[in-house]
Amino acid sequence: MIRTVEPPPHTSAPVLAAYSYCEAVTGQQARNFAYGIRLLPTSKRRAMSALYAFSRRVDDIGDGALAGDVKAARLEDTRAMLTRVREGSVAEDDTDPVAVALAHAAETFPIPLSGLDELIDGVLMDVRGETYETWDDLKVYCRCVAGAIGRLSLGVFGTEPGARAAERAPEYADTLGLALQLTNILRDVREDAEDGRTYLPADDLAKFGCSAGFKGPKPPEGADFAGLVHFEVRRARALFAEGYRLLPMLDRRSGACVAAMAGIYRRLLDRIERDPEAVLRGRVSLPGREKAYVAVRGLSGLDARHVTRRPVRRRA
């Protein structure tokens, strides 16, 4: 069982300032994520903001315009900062607010910091321009950049005492991360292509006549683009169904946070399924009022109750 550790009653001014910086980064750059974590109590919200700010730094290095060798060096510098956090050698007056906030969060909650090493490994895969032949290949990448975030988040959330099958919570958190990442990949397929990146498995692209890529507002000539999208949507839905088994294991507000974030992406998936070519014309997104509705639904516990009515199937 993963138990939540309660924070100490007093947090110093430098640590509070570091958390404020991380929360500002989260609010400005992660609107879907921010919708979810605002449902958490203060200590958990701050810890999640620290995780996001570190992750944002890693992603920004990978997505930037620097040469590949410079990106790799900066990612290793970031890994060195993570090592300082892990060793407990980050002082409260350190000049890096992300390091300060992350160090405090890691002292407060049982966060598996190795997940952030996995994130760096995943972004290094982007820097090297890796492509993926099969879904099993792509899963390795998705587990690094998203499944790891699910497991890190679970360290903050904890599981409820007596939760059934709680030992499988990290597995479900990882799977939910994969579902979110595959949805991201579908949403950003043209943007990624314009940046020279292809994430969807080559086997799937070939099966649906899409190996030529997606650099315009129309699919390749003769391609079954809708078939490809619907195939990947079904895969993502199966991952969501598996990952949602995490919800009954969480306390009400942590469950609401997860349900809100996952619910936003599930609705994105619905939109993509209805109009597959929309992802080639521009970024598919949800209006703020719909995100707010998803958050309220998460707080109501509807998603968690729906999951508990389903039998838990064991994987072969």
Name the CA dihedral angle for 8, 10, 16, 19, rounded to a multiple of 10 degrees: 10
> What is the structure's pLDDT at 301?
57
> What is the structure's pLDDT at 6?
46
Between CA 243 and CA 282, with CA 27 as vertex, the angle to 5 degrees is: 70
Domain 130-308 has CATH 3.40.50.1970: no
> What is the structure's pLDDT at 312?
42
CATH label, 13-109, candidates 3.40.1160.10, 1.10.600.10, 1.20.1080.10, 1.10.1740.10: 1.10.600.10
Cβ 72 vs Cβ 123: under 8 Å: no
C-alpha–C-alpha distance, residues 188 and 145, integer Å:
15
> Is 11 strand, coil or helix?
coil
DSSP 71-89: HHHHHHHHHHHHHHHHHT-
Residue in the structure block whose two tokens are 């990448």: 141
Q: Along the chain (316 residues), what's the average pLDDT of each consecutive run of 10 residues?
A: 49 95 90 78 96 96 95 97 96 97 97 97 96 97 97 97 94 97 96 92 97 89 96 98 95 91 91 96 83 66 50 41
pLDDT digits (tens, 9 = 90+) for 26-75: 988 876 677 778 889 999 999 999 999 999 999 999 999 999 999 999 99
> What is the structure's pLDDT at 298?
61
pLDDT digits (tens, 9 = 90+) for 117-139: 999 999 999 999 999 999 999 99
> What is the structure's pLDDT at 28?
87
> What is the structure's pLDDT at 288?
76
Residue in the structure block whose two tokens are 């490809």: 228
DSSP 247-294: GGGS-HHHHHHHHHHHHHHHHHHHHHHH-TTHHHHS-----HHHHHHH
C-alpha–C-alpha distance, residues 103 and 168, integer Å:
27
Structure tokens at 21: 């910086």
Structure tokens at 220: 């390749």
Cβ 262 vs Cβ 297: under 8 Å: no
> Is 292 strand, coil or helix?
helix
Cβ 129 vs Cβ 199: under 8 Å: no
Domain 13-109 identical in fold to domain 130-308: yes
For the chain, give every domain's residue range: 13-109, 130-308
